[in-house]
Amino acid sequence: GNSVTQMEGPVTLSEEAFLTINCTYTATGYPSLFWYVQYPGEGLQLLLKATKADDKGSNKGFEATYRKETTSFHLEKGSVQVSDSAVYFCALRPLGTASKLTFGTGTRLQVTL
Amino acid sequence: DVKVTQSSRYLVKRTGEKVFLECVQDMDHENMFWYRQDPGLGLRLIYFSYDVKMKEKGDIPEGYSVSREKKERFSLILESASTNQTSMYLCASSPLRARGHNYGYTFGSGTRLTVV
């Protein structure tokens, strides 16, 4: 079946540090890949996506590249801010099937001054 | 601004009560979903619906049912609430895959349900 594995958190960084949150997946074919962010007390928001191999999704300074050879979609940001503190979810949506997303368990990021 | 609205942010119910969680979207999306979110377990799909009066079980449907009488509304029903159903419940919607430019979901803000 399909699955998404994320690094366990929490990840604690100082402001302006470099962020990497690892995400690997298992799926047949070429799924679409997503990162969602959940700020405290809120629902999930789509952060970025990539729909085919070597695509790079980007938004708000965050980037992730769809790597078919390593089945990965790691989230990166060059300089984090306190306002980036949130839970980040990696997800996949299989090709040619019903519209269901499969989520990872989430990684909590805490950014301190 | 497009929206998925969940009727309550916080609910406290007693064991054995019948509980209704309501979700409304204004984007004319065909697909709607109910998830529960628990620490360490991430999001788990309870039920989803492709269309009015259509529903399919997700990964953890036991103890839940759903209703979709209108396209914009998707209700989650706990027939007899139990303490192990204390959780955050998230509703989401998406267009049909063929129609949507963005194949992701739009989520509501969530309902935190406590069953005592």
Q: Tell me what the mean pLDDT of segment A11-36 comes to.
A: 94
In the numeric block, which tokens belong to residue A113? 């001054």
- Tell me the pLDDT tens digit for each residue of B5-35: 998 999 999 999 999 999 999 989 889 999 9
Residues in B closer than 8 angstroms to A104, CB to CB, are: 42
Contacts of B109 in chain A (CB under 8 A): 41-43
Is residue B102 predicted with pLDDT exceeding 60? no
Model confidence at B39, pLDDT cuts 50, 70, 90, reads confident
What's residue B101's pLDDT? 45
DSSP-derived letter for residue B15 is T
Q: Is B76 exposed, middle or buried (0-12, 13-18, 19+ CB in 10 A)?
A: buried
- Output b/e per residue, A23-40; b: 16+ Cβ within 10 A: bbbebeeebbbbbbbbee
Q: In what order do the strands lie in the sheet with A56-59?
A: A19-21, A75-77, A62-65, A56-59
Q: What is the pLDDT of residue A94?
A: 82
Distance from CA of A15 to the nearest CA of B (A): 26
Question: What pLDDT does B84 receive?
Answer: 96
**Coil, strand, or helix at residue B9?**
coil
Q: Cis check for the bond before A10: say yes or no (omega within 30 of 0).
A: yes
Is A99–B40 a contact, with Cβ atoms under 8 angstroms apart? no
Share of chain A above pLDDT 90, in %: 75
d(CA A29, CA A94): 8
State the pLDDT at residue B10.
94
Q: At CB < 8 Å, which residues of chain A contact B? A: 32, 34, 36, 41-46, 49, 51, 89, 91, 93, 98-101, 103-106
B90 touches chain A (CB under 8 A): yes
Contact A42 B109 (CB under 8 A): yes
